[in-house]
Amino acid sequence: MSSLSGVRPTKGFLIELKRRISFIERGCEFLKLKRDQLAKELSASIEVLRGRRGTLEDQLNRIYDLVVSAYLSLGPAEVGSQASSIRKELAIDVLPVSVMGVLYPRIRVRSKPRVEGRLDIALSRAAELASGIMEELIQIAEFEARVERIADELGKTNRKVNALENIVIPDYKQTMKFIEDKLDEEALEELVRIKLIGGALARRRE
Amino acid sequence: MSPGLAYVVVRCHAMRAELIDPETMRSLAEARDMEEFLGLLSQTQYKEIVGEAGEGVSAVALERAFYQKLIERLDRVVRVAPKGMAEFLRAFYYMRLEVQNLKRILRGKSSETSTERIKKHLIPVAPYLSVDFDDLVGAKTMADAVNLLGRTVYAPIKESLGLWEKYDALWPLEARLNQIYVESVQGSLSKISSEDREMVRQIVEVETYVEDMLSAINWTRMAGEQPSLPPLESVFPLKYGTSLRTIKELIEGRDHGDVVKGLGAPYAEIVEPIIVDDVALVRTNLRRHAYEVARDGRARDDFGFPCVMSYLVSCDVERGDLVSIAWGKEHELESRKILKYTVLPGYAP
C-alpha cells in the first residue's frame, strides 16, 4: 500500500499520528460549519436576488422601450447630442467586505449623473427611470458578485470537507491501524520471545 | 430673377416622382435586416447614397446622408421659387435645421464635449442666420458661444443665459431658440398669400402648441427637483393664444387624460399617446398631421404654394421615416415597432 510506505511503526509515530488526526478532525468540523454557514448565506442571497431581479428586469425593459422609441422618433444624432449634454458622471467607491473569509465588493455611490433639465421629454423619462434604479442595479451587481464568490468558496469548502472525510481521515486511520497492528504483533512476538527465554532459563535451572 | 410660381410648381410636380411611395416605404420597414433594407433602398433615388456608403454603413452615417438629400431637394426648390416664397421657405426649413444645430452646439458646450463629437452630431447644413458653426463649436465656453450669437437674430438667447447658470439646465436656452424660430416663421408669413398662410399656421401652430405641452410635462417633472423655477410666462412666452392655459393646467398637476380630452381636434388625437407616456408616438403623430395638412392643401390647390409646401413636407417626412427605419434595422428591431413610429407606411394600400 503506497500510503503506508515510509511509515515508521513506532509508538512515537502513532502518538504523532493521533495528534494529527485529532487536529484534522477538528479542522473538518470547522470546515463543515463554514460550509453550512456559506450555504445559508448563499440561499438567502439567491432569494433576495431572485425577487429584486424580476422587478428590475421589468423596469429595464420599460427603459429600453423608451430609449428605442426616442431613437426612432428623434434619430441617432439628436439622441447622441442630448446624451452628451449630461455633464456629471456616475462616481462610485468599491470597498471589500468579508463573509466567512470570502471577500466581495461593496459599492457605494458617491454621485449620480444629473439628468434634470438637460434632456428632451422623450429621453428624460427613460433617464429618470434609469437614474431611479441605478442604486438598485448596483446593489444587484453587488449581490451577484457576492453570490458568485460565496458559491465558489462553498464549492471549494465542500471539496475540502469531502477530501478530508473520504480520503485524508480514512488514510490516517488506516495508517494508525497498521501501526497499532504492527505494534500489537511486535508486542506479541516480544511476549512469546520472553516466554520462550523464560522457559529455556527455567529448563536450564532444573 | 426667379422664373416664377408656375416654374417651381412644375419642378415640384416633376420631383415628386423621385419620392419614395408609401408602399415602398412599407417594404423598407418590413425588410428582414439592414442588408435587405440597403438592397431595397438602392432601387430608389437613394442608390448613390447606398453605393457611396458601401457595406457595413451605420445608421448615423445614413441619417447624415438622408439630411443631405433633404437639403439638396430644398435647395433645388428654393433656388427657383419666387422671392417671397423663397424667403418664407428659408425661414421655415433652413432656420429650423439651424436651430437644431444651435441646440446641439450649446448642449456640447454646456457639457464641455470635444469639438469633434459636437461636429459629429450636426446636420450638414450651411449657416443661415447664425454665425459660422465652426466658430461656435470652437468657442471656449458656453458664454462665449452665446455671445457669438449675440450679433445675430438669435441675440435674445443672451437673456436666458442667466437661467442656464442658475438652474444648470438647458431648457431655458432651447425654449428661447424655439421662440425665436416661431417668431421668425410668423414674421415671414407675410411673404406668402393669406390663403397659403392658413396651411402653414395649421402646421406650425399645432407643432408649437404640442411641443409646448411636452415641455410643460417635462417641466412638472423637473419642478419636483427644483421648486424655485422661474415664472411660467418667462419660459413659455405665449406663442399662440390658447396654449398657456393648457400648459398651466398641466403644470398645476391636472390629470393628463382630462387635459387631453379637453383639447379637441386635432390636438386630442395627436397628443393622446401622452396618456400612456409614449412621447415618441406624439412626435410621429405631429409629422403625420403635417403630412396630412400638406396633402389636403395640395388637394385644394395643386398649382400653387400648397403644391410646393406639400412636396417639401413629404421630403421631410420621408427623411424622418428613413432615419427611423435605418436605425431600427441596424438594431434588429421588429418591423411592427418600426412601423409604429413611421408615417408613410401607414398610407400604403
User: Where is the domain boundary, B169, B192, B215?
Assistant: B192
E strands, B151-281, where? Answer: none
Say what the pLDDT of residue A187 is: 92
Say what the pLDDT of residue B230 is: 64
Say what the pLDDT of residue A48 is: 85
Q: What is the DSSP letter of B94?
A: I
- Tens digits of per-residue pLDDT, B72-100? 999 999 999 998 899 999 999 999 999 99
Measuring CA to CA, how many Å separate A81 from each of A127, A137, B154, B164? Answer: 14, 25, 20, 18
- Closest-CA distance, A149 to chain B, in angstroms, reads 35
- Closest-CA distance, B84 to chain A, in angstroms, reads 31
Do B176 and B200 lie in one domain? The reply is no
Q: Which of B73-87, B188-202, B320-334 has the lowest mean pLDDT?
A: B188-202
Does A59 touch chain B if contact means CB atoms closer than 8 Å?
A: no
- Tens digits of per-residue pLDDT, A177-188? 999 999 999 999
Q: Which residues of A touch B337 (CB under 8 A)?
A: 68, 72
pTM for the complete prediction? 0.81
Do B188 and B228 lie in one domain? The reply is no
Do B158 and B210 lie in one domain? The reply is no
Do B176 and B233 lie in one domain? The reply is no
Residue B299, in any domain of the structure: no
Say what the pLDDT of residue B291 is: 95
Cβ distance B120 to A82 less than 8 Å, yes or no, reads no
User: Does residue A116 register a pLDDT over 80?
Assistant: no
Residues B9-33: what's their mean pLDDT? 94
Q: Which residues contact A199 (CB under 8 A, 6 or more apart)?
A: none
Residue B334, in any domain of the structure: no
Residue B8, in any domain of the structure: no
Does B101 touch chain A if contact means CB atoms closer than 8 Å?
A: no
Residue B57, in any domain of the structure: no
Mean pLDDT score of chain B: 86
Residues B273-302: what's their mean pLDDT? 92
Residue B26, in any domain of the structure: no
Cβ distance B100 to A78 less than 8 Å, yes or no, reads yes
Q: Residue B299 has which C-alpha cell?
A: 388637394
Residues B204-216: what's their mean pLDDT? 83
Does A89 touch chain B if contact means CB atoms closer than 8 Å?
A: no
Q: Which residues contact A131 (CB under 8 A, 6 or more apart)?
A: A112, A113, A115
Local confidence band at B23 (pLDDT 50, 70, 90 cut-offs): very high
- Does the domain at A10-199 match CATH 1.10.287.3240? Answer given as yes
Instruction: Give residue limits of the domains in chain A.
Output: 10-199
Q: Looking at the 3D structure of chain B, how many domains does it have? A: 2
Do B98 and B149 lie in one domain? The reply is yes
Residue B326, in any domain of the structure: no
Local confidence band at A102 (pLDDT 50, 70, 90 cut-offs): confident
Say what the pLDDT of residue B122 is: 93
Do B166 and B259 lie in one domain? The reply is no
Q: Which residues contact B234 (CB under 8 A, 6 or more apart)?
A: none
Q: Residue A60 has which C-alpha cell?
A: 429595464
Q: What is the DSSP letter of B238?
A: -
Does A54 touch chain B if contact means CB atoms closer than 8 Å?
A: no
User: Where is the domain boundary, B192, B227, B260?
Assistant: B192
Say what the pLDDT of residue A134 is: 87
What are the beta bridge partners of residue A105?
A96
- Tens digits of per-residue pLDDT, B123-179? 999 888 777 888 999 999 888 999 999 889 999 998 888 878 877 778 788 888 888
* Residue among A139, A132, A162, A130 at smallest CA distance from A35: A162
Say what the pLDDT of residue B1 is: 45
Q: Are A70 and B280 in contact (CB under 8 A)?
A: yes
Task: Output the DSSP codes for A78-120.
Answer: HHHHHHHT--SPPEEEEEEEEETTEEEEEEEEEE----TTTS-
- Closest-CA distance, B62 to chain A, in angstroms, reads 10
The CA distance from B318 to B26, in Å, is 12
Q: Which domain holds residue B159?
A: 83-192
Angle CA(B291)–CA(B292)–CA(B295) in degrees, nearest 5? 85
Between B232 and A120, residue with greater pLDDT = A120
Please count the CA atoms within 13 angstroms of the CA of B289 that sit on its side-chain side.
24
What residue of B is the nearest CA neighbor of A117?
Answer: B169
Q: Which residues of B touch A59 (CB under 8 A)?
A: none
Cβ distance A69 to B112 less than 8 Å, yes or no, reads no
The CA distance from A115 to B342, in Å, is 28
Greatest CA separation for chain B = 57
B169 → closest Cβ in A73, A78, A117: A117
Residue B319, in any domain of the structure: no
